[in-house]
Structures are given as structure tokens and as C-alpha cells.
Structure 1
């Protein structure tokens, strides 16, 4: 349709811009809900390989789905009841130890420990800076910040419950969702689209299982080393269960999670134990990060997503910048999907030209 009237042309163009702005605002308002849906769908695709494996073992799909969901919920419940009380107790102990730390700051004991552990660090300068920062604090805004943190924690718990419920729904109805999506593709292109979509789904599932395996390895090794091995050699580490849980959670985040959690754990050991325990813990995590980066991660992820290491790094950084932790989680499977599309769609077309 050709529009010869300049006024009508401008009016329709302006309406189009307004509609685009309205769509963008709507998506922005639904950003949290879309994040929940994306996380749940991501987890559902990660659980689907387990369901498929059970189906290959002659399990009917409904029973396979129920078995996987019961197993996952059982592991999650067991983790909560086994770890959370220990972590809670150690957090309370750490809170009760805070006045002692303050006294150690005052009498110089903690300062001496820090200077012995890291002699290159300007402790006096850091203390002067901390004192100046405390003098500029607005305690009214701190109260509001504490309230905001409480609201954020409540929102996080609610979001976790929503994601779990959506994950259960997506796992149980994943086949029907795929079938409905495939029906939207023209019949002439449907077989190729189905094959490509199944490969992408399998890559996502393998990635979720691989990242979870890395997190379990880091958490288990951290617990064994900090709880059993180091104390046996006269290097006690307080709150080892809490530190191992931090290691597990950190390793769930691709690329930067292990480094970040290792730094946090080392700083906490420095705060609560001092030398020589902090030196031993720092050396352990430096060695572990090398083993994970050059041995564990390449072996697991090479089987999971099959994309070059440089693209893994770029994808994780870009995803984390755009969507935070969720972006870092889904960036590598998305990169794997793009690589599949390029290799199986774009490259063959270029070869036919």
C-alpha cells in the first residue's frame, strides 16, 4: 500500500514509533517475570537429559519425569536440612565473634596478624581510610539500606520458589512445548528445524549438568580440605562448612564464579583465622583454579557445548554484562546454539553459492 499524503505517512510513522516504545516499556515491566521464565526453562532443559536417559532404560516418560523431579527435590531438601543448619550455626558464631574482632582491631592483634600475612599491605592507610569513610556515613540511609536488603532477600526467596514451580511445570510439559513450537515452522523446513532445535536443547542440558558437576567438585573438595586435611596438619579453618557452601555457589557461575568465591573464602579465612591458615588456603585455591581451568573445565565443557575456549570467555563476559548472573549462565549455551546455526545453516548455504 502506497501512501501519497505526507501527513498520513508521518502519522502512521509516529504511531509505529509509539507502538515500539509501548512494546519496549511492556517488556521492561515484565523483565523480572521473563527472567524467572528463562531461568526455569534453562533448568528444565538441563533436567531433560536425565529424563531421556531414564526413558532409554525403559521408564515411561511420566514415571521418568516423576523420578527425576523427586530425586532433584530430594537432593535439594537434603542439602537444605544438612547444610543450612551448619551454615546458620557458623554464621551465628561468626556474628558473635564480631565484638572480639573489633577489640582485636583496637588492641592491634588483628593488625599484627594482617601485617605478618601480607607485609606489603598498608594496614594503617586502610584503617585511616576506613575511619574517614565511617565519618561520612549517613546512618539514616544505612537503615533504609538494611530494609532494602531485607526486601531483596524476601524477593529472592519468592523468586526461587517461583522458578522451582515453573521448572517442574516445564519439565513435565517440555515435549508438548517443543511440539507446539515445531508446528509454527513451515512443513518444508520443519525436519531441519527440529534436528537443530534438539541439538541446541541437548547442548543446554549437557552444559547445566557440566556446570553443576564442577560446582559439586569444588564444594566437596573445599569441605574435605578445609574440614579434614588442613586441621590434621595443624592448620585449623573455622566455618569450613560455610566456606565450602560459598565455593559450591560460586562455581555455579561460569568463568568468574570460582575466582570470586575463592577470593571471598581467602579473605574470610584471613579475617577469622589469620596466618598460617590463610596462606595454606590461598595456595590451595590457586592450585585448584589451575586444575579446574586446565583439566576439569576443558574436559567437561568440551563434551557439553563443544565450542572454542575464547568464545566461552567472550560469551560469559557479554552475558554477565547484559543480564547479570542469569546472563552469564545462559550465555555459553546461547553461544553454542549460535555456533550450531552457523555451522549447519549459514556455512552450507555459503558453500552452495
Structure 2
């Protein structure tokens, strides 16, 4: 091989001739595409396993909510761990069952009255259609109803298949409820040990940071849960009290419905408030419906301009626009369940990412706060002899030890 300069290949690679901006764009593009593909696969796996994943997510929310109750029963009332976990869960089921019982009794008592008022309202609407600007006669209305009945008869097969689909969905809901209750009990009973086992599956160097990030996400989740209960309570009291003052039938069930619907931020209270306006329209006419609409809008303004930006924003560190986009995306991907879980998931991810990138808002988070959802507090100095430093990579480190 000759060593002459003529035999030396060109030292400048072809890549160097490509502008740097193009190379950076290409490098970022394939990485973004890879992240999007991994995210799509993750969403697909979750959708396939939603009967298991969703109940576990709900169980985590319930465990964070009930952890202070279980701790009170364990530490103050001296209950055994299993009895304290079971007592907290039974108390929640009793509360929900009591609300549903009260609402059911109110519905049974008010349904007859509402039915009579609804029939009267329909007659008034029919008269307005005939005498108003639309000039729709009774014969035309009968013809429309007849066409509707014929359409229902012709599509009976689709209705039957839809009923079967609903039955299957109810079966999945029942199975998911059992899984959620089972997991909630064991998360309350032995959540620390379960988490320690999960952390132990990771590489040694990743255990400490994963543990610290997760416990901060858990505190954010607890703050979201408690704040959302407060927001839902304010919405329910405002709309329910307004309906009761106007004399709208089913005011108590409407308040309970608003309370449940408000757990879907922004969207839930709007939809349930619209139901309250519709009931007022059917029962007492347009005047009461307009007043009910004003009450609903006033409650929504209090929620949108006071509760969500200040209380919820402070609790989860999310802008209201981010909350709205999260709810819209969650409902698009997974319907009502997605809308319900979107905000807590985004809030936890936000807290974890901030911690992993060095922006920790829980600098004084104590060890015991991680699994009980308590807010951070300054450490209290204790006059004890200094202990030997623990290995942060050791899974038996006190950071993951059950100290409850």
C-alpha cells in the first residue's frame, strides 16, 4: 500500500457536510418517535389490562385517602393492623352505602311528584310547539313519535346487542370493584412491605432515587385526593342547596350526584349541574330553570376562579389549563375512567419528573410521610447518639423500612 498523499482517503466524513441543525433535528426526531411509540405501546397494554389496571389505580387512591383513618385506629384506638385496615375500609363502604340509601329513598319519594310535573311540563311544551313560532300540530307530533317507534322496532337487534354489551360491562365493573376492595385492604395492611418488594426488583443504584421519587408522588396524590373531596363538597352543597331553596324535586339526590360527578375535574360538575337545570325545567318551568342555571354558573365560577387555581393548583402544582387538557385527553383515551384518573396521574408524573431533574418541592419530607400521605414538615431534632450512615443503595435502608 502506498503512503503517498494521493492514496490517502478524504479525512472529512460525509456527515460533516450536513448542517448541524439538520443533524440535531434528526437526532431529536427519532428519539421523540421512539418515546411516542413506547407510550403508545404502554397505553395499549393498559387498555388491554384495564380491568386490572384501573381497579389497582383506584385502590391506590382509596388507600391514600384511608391511610390516616387506619393509622388513627392503629395508633390511637390500639387496633391490630388487620382490624384497623378492615375498619377503615368498612367505614368507607358504610359511608358510600348510606349516601346511596338516602339518595334512593329521596328518589323513590320524589319520583311520583316529578313524574306528574314532567307530564304537565310535556303538555306545556306540546302546546307551545303547536301555538308558538314552530306551528307543529299534534298530528305531526304523533307522526314523529310513530316514526321513532318504528325505528326502534327495526333496530331491535342492535338494541339487544347493546344490552348484552352493557351486561358484560357490568360484569367487568363488578370484578373491578372486588379487585379494588381487595387491593385497598392489603395496601392499608402491608403497603410498605409491598412497595419495598417492588423497589427490590430494581437495580441497586436505582432503588434510592426511585423510592424518593415515588414517595413524593404519593404525597402529591394524597393532597389531590383531599383537595378534590373539598371541591366536590363545595359544588354539591352549592347546587344542592340552590335546588332545595327553589323547591326543585330530588334536591338531595342531585347534590349527591354533583358530589360524585365533581371528582372528574371541571367537566363533571358542569354535566351534573346541567342535569339539575333540566330537572328544574321539567318540574317548575323556564323561570326556575334560569335561576338554577345562574346558581350552577355561580358555583362553577367559585370552583374555576378560587378552588381550582388556588387550592387544587397549590396541591398538585398544575395550571388549570393543564388540568383541562389532562381531563380531555383522559376522556378521549379511556372515557369516564380516563377523565377520573387523568389529573392524579399527571400530577404524580409532574412531581416525579421535577424530583428526578433536581426541582424537589418536598425537601423536608420525613420517612414516615411517604406511605401515609401526610404533608411535609420540618424535621424535629432528637437528642440521640449519632447512628452510622446507612447505605442509600441498600434495600433494607430505613428509607424503605416499615416504621408505622
Bin the TM-score by the shorter chain. 0.7 to 0.9
1:244 corresponds, among 255, 273, 294, to 255
Structure 1 residues 318 and 128: CA distance shift in structure 2, 3 A: farther
Contact 2:236-2:255 within 8 A present in 1 as well: yes
Q: Deviations over 1:45-82 (max 9, x none)?
A: 33335546777869678265345334323322322333
- Does 1:175 find its partner at 2:192? yes
Partner of 1:31 in structure 2?
50
- Is 1:316 equivalent to 2:335 in the alignment? no
Q: Which structure features the higher share of helix residues?
A: 1
TM-score, with normalisation over the residues of structure 1? Answer: 0.73
Aligned-partner Cα distance in 1 for 2:232–2:297: 16
RMSD: 3.8
Match of 1:75 in 2: 95
Q: Distance in 1 between matches of 2:60 and 2:191?
A: 9
Separation in structure 1 between the aligned mates of residue 78 and residue 223 of structure 2, nearest angstrom: 21
The aligned residue for residue 208 of structure 2 is 191
In structure 2, distance between residues paired with 1:123 and 1:208: 52
Unaligned residue ranges in structure 2 (runs of 5+): 1-41, 360-404
Q: Is contact 1:46–1:206 with CA below 8 Å preserved after alignment? A: no
Deviates more, 1:243-252 or 1:58-67: 58-67
CA distance in 1, matches of 2:283, 2:172: 31
Offset at residue 178 of structure 1 (A)? 1.2
Match of 1:336 in 2: 347
- Report which stretch shifted further, 249-258 or 334-343: 334-343
Q: CA deviation at 1:271?
A: 1.9
Cα offset, 1:249, TM superposition = 2.0
Offset at 1:261? 1.0
1:163 matched to which residue of 2?
A: 180
Quick one: structure 1 residues 316 and 123, their matched pair in 2 at CA, closer, same or farther if it must change by over 3 Å?
Answer: farther
Q: Structure 1: where are the runs of 5+ without partners? A: 1-22, 231-235, 349-353
The count of aligned residue pairs is: 313
Q: Distance in 1 between matches of 2:135 and 2:272?
A: 23
Question: TM-score, with normalisation over the residues of structure 2?
Answer: 0.65
Which position in structure 1 is the counterpart of 2:152? 138
CA-to-partner distance for each residue in 1:297-351, whole Å, 9 max, x for gaps?
Answer: 2233134212222222222211121122222222222222222233222367xxx
- Which is greater in Rg? 2
Write the deviation string for residues 197-227 of structure 1: whole angstroms up to 9, x where unpaired: 1010111122122212222222233332222
Structure 1's 160 and 88: CA in aligned 2 closer, same or farther, altered over 3 A?
farther
TM alignment of 1:214-229, pairs within 5 A:
214-227=231-244, 229=245
